[in-house]
Amino acid sequence: MSLTDFLHGVETVVVDSGPRPIQTVRSSVIGLIGTAPLANEVAFPLDTPVLVNRRQAAAMIGATGSLPQAIDSIYDQGGALIVVVRVADAQTENEQLSKIIGGVDADTGAFTGIHVFRAAEAECGVSPMILIAPGFTHQRPLGVAGHTVTAQGNGYTQATVAFTGGGAGAVLPTAKPIITGGKITGLEFDSLGFGIVSPLTATVTGDGTGATITIQIGASANPVVSELKQLADGFKAHIIADGPSTTDAAAFAYRNDHGTRRVFIVDPTVSGWSVKTSTYALEHSSARVAGLISRVDNEKGFWESPSNKEVYGIGGLGRPIDYAYGDKNSRANILNENEIATFIRDEGWYLWGNRTCSADPKFAFLSVSRTGDMIDISIAKAHRWAVDRSITKQYFEDVTASVKAYMRQLRVRGAILGGDCWVDPEFNTEADISQGHVTFSYDFTPPYPAERVTFRSHLVSDYIRNLFA
């Protein structure tokens, strides 16, 4: 209303300036993908996100496939929100991995496989922050392990490469030739393929001639984890990946396939009670670990490490893991040293290990990485109100006050040691503001887990005098 309008009487003008409270997003929503051939088609349609908030809600999932046991393992740890994606059952492991990976349906344009998680927030109202695919992340199937340019050829300005062979059911790699001075000097791979059981032939075509390439085959990174990484980056989520559960060497090779904070590896498998067979049976441990993280989030907070917390429902391990206090050569310690979490038995079964696969030591600890994500997402989501507002001094004060208040709240709860928010003139120039671009800076320090506790022991004779005091 204009102040120049005539009014004889009383009016009320609503002033909506001031800071807004920031609500922390749900940190422990689990994204679970797998198979359940006997599931109710209406309750659990294929390639569709379905929100499950309690064990009873999964009653129509059936008793076969990977999903029923995974859901049971999660709820053995306590309450959890799960976004369940069911994919069709396949005849071979390679075909099943491809269905889990999915993509976009060529006919309908709908997401399939793990990409269905992209629709979770729109259809279920929550975004998964812990991603698991029990039974489909432990493999290191054969794929491209290397290549040799046996002849560089001449006269190339453009070229493509096609792959043939690999055996029945193989998913072939994709790559682009690298051209230097008219010669083919190598290949840039977009995908290494998987499930390759026979030799691959690479054929280069283009406007030049003479280039030939030999392909070497070997164990490669798990394709489901590799595909999940891009989703995890976008969601600011973490992948709980199952290790191979065979040997230490195999676990170390698996670990070396990844260098991102988004991957947290757990090895070995565990035995849990199967209601289907009425006996203990081996199962992949990622579901129990995801349920544990959800329980710790609910009881302690997202900033608390899940390591050294009891995992419920474990009857044993898929391979022996020895552990002793202070023993640097125990298998548990060696696995942890190589950024692989495991389990130890000491008056119960406990998850043992804090470290992600991060190449950046700043995000080595899972709890630190998740704390940073929760704060970043919460601040971003809480400030949609700040978009398209008029840029004034009051506007800057309102936003910074909101973030400062949130940091104080987190510090009181123990989620951070301290934090601040400010406006840096260097990033808010006249040119920036005239284009509608404003920048706020904030910092915080998360609490770090006490992974190594040292007691310094001194044996002295000083206290003998107390005998005669």
pLDDT mean across residues, the chain: 91
Bridge-based pairing state of the strands 270-274 and 279-283: antiparallel
Tokens (6 digits) for 162: 């096609």
Phi-psi category of residue 2: left, alpha or beta, with phi > 0 → left and psi -120 to 50 → alpha: beta
Phi-psi category of residue 225: left, alpha or beta, with phi > 0 → left and psi -120 to 50 → alpha: alpha
Among the residues of 29-127, which ranges form H helices? 67-75, 93-101, 120-124
The pLDDT of residue 418? 96
The pLDDT of residue 469? 72
Q: Which residue in this structure is represented by tokens 């679970």?
A: 32
The pLDDT of residue 194? 83
- 275-285 pLDDT, tens digit each: 777 889 999 99
SS3 70: helix
| Alpha-carbon Rg for the chain in angstroms | 27
Say which CATH class 30-138+223-363 falls into. Answer: alpha beta
Q: Which residue in this structure is represented by tokens 């001194």?
A: 458
Contact 235, 260 (CB under 8 A): no
The H or E element containing residue 228 is helix 223-235
Listed as ranges, residues in the chain with pLDDT below 50 are none
The pLDDT of residue 59? 87
- 2-20 pLDDT, tens digit each: 556 777 567 666 666 566 6
Domains 30-138+223-363 and 142-219 share a fold: no
CATH architecture of 142-219: Beta Barrel (2.40)
Bridge-based pairing state of the strands 316-317 and 270-274: antiparallel
The pLDDT of residue 8? 57
The pTM (predicted TM-score) of the whole model is 0.87
Extents of the domains making up the chain: 30-138+223-363, 142-219, 388-469
What's the distance, CA 191 to chain centroid? 20
Contact 232, 131 (CB under 8 A): yes
Could you tell me which of 368, 386, 376, 371 has the C-alpha nearest to residue 437? 386
- 162-221 pLDDT, tens digit each: 999 988 878 899 999 999 999 999 999 988 888 888 899 999 999 999 999 999 998 888
The pLDDT of residue 18? 63
The H or E element containing residue 324 is none
Among the residues of 284-427, which ranges form H helices? 286-299, 331-337, 366-382, 393-413
* Cα 184 to Cα 428: distance, rounded to the nearest angstrom: 47
The pLDDT of residue 326? 85
The pLDDT of residue 91? 87
* Cα 439 to Cα 134: distance, rounded to the nearest angstrom: 41
